[in-house]
Homo-oligomer: A and B are copies of this chain.
Amino acid sequence: MRVGELAKRSGVPVPTIKYYLREGLLPAGVLTSPNQAHYDEEHLRRLRLVRALVDVGGLSIAAVREVLAAVDTRDDSLHNKLGAVQEAISQPGSVELDPLAVRDVQLFFARHGETECADVAESNVTRMLAAALSAARSVGHDHFEELLDPYLEGMRLIARADLEYIARRGSSDAVIEAMVVGTLIGDAVIKAVRRLAHVQVSREVIGDGFDG
């Protein structure tokens, strides 16, 4: 198909597709003449993935490019790919880290047998965690780290469902994409579901009111 049809089938305007091509989010089509190119279903699929990452995942164009680079790397273990994707989707945020928050993160990791994370600043994920705890401290929540263990427990439940879901996918390509989708779209779903859980649990604990 040509770019017009790609636009029609994806709902993305032609100039935007051209922009994505320029930015390297979408591989170039196969040129059949100096000014004619062919796109296939794979292009359509990739384009929809880009839109999902941007619209639902809230990623910047640069972050999408990083994620796709990780997805496309052929000579890498699944484990490394997942790590690269996670790094790409965890933007630092430029919060200065409170040493006490850093210590809390280190203790948390040590408590759960993760010894590799000696330097918190090394990974975006740990830095994000430290930044979040720093922010909590800055607004007077000195013991937010108490929530880390319960959060991990809840997340283990969710991670088991995630892995089952991923394992059910067949090919390696599909597994990688499932990880990206599961991680990013999953984050959005989790946010929404958390709201429902708050309402339900508060009803269950306090009664039907929860009106303070």
A: interface residue count bin:
35 or more
Contact call A56/B193, Cβ cutoff below 8 A: no
Interface residue A194 (Cβ < 8 Å from any Cβ of B): yes
Interface residue A152 (Cβ < 8 Å from any Cβ of B): yes
Contact call A114/B196, Cβ cutoff below 8 A: yes
Chain A interface main SS type: helix
Which of A58, A94, A156 has the largest count of B CB atoms less than 10 A from its CB?
A156
Cα distance A31–B132 when bound, in Å?
35
Interface residue A8 (Cβ < 8 Å from any Cβ of B): no
Contact call B165/A161, Cβ cutoff below 8 A: no
Q: Which of A16-24, A62-70, A143-151 participates in binding chain B?
A: A143-151
Q: Which residues of B contact A122 (CB under 8 A)?
A: none
Closest to A179 in B: B198
Of B86, B94, B163, B177, the contact of A195 (CB 8 Å cutoff): B86
Which of A80, A156, A197, A202 has the largest count of B CB atoms less than 10 A from its CB?
A197
Task: Output the least CB separation between A156 and chain B (Å).
Answer: 5
Q: Which residues of B contact A181 (CB under 8 A)?
A: 136, 139, 141, 144
Interface residues of A (CB under 8 A from B): 11, 45, 48-49, 51-52, 55-56, 58, 77-80, 82, 86, 90, 93-96, 109, 112, 114, 125-126, 128-129, 131-133, 135-136, 138-141, 144, 146-148, 150-163, 165, 172, 175, 177-178, 181-183, 185-202, 205-206, 209-212
* Beyond A55-B95, A79-B211, A125-B195, 6 additional pairs, beta carbon < 8 A: A128-B188, A147-B182, A152-B196, A156-B200, A162-B201, A163-B201
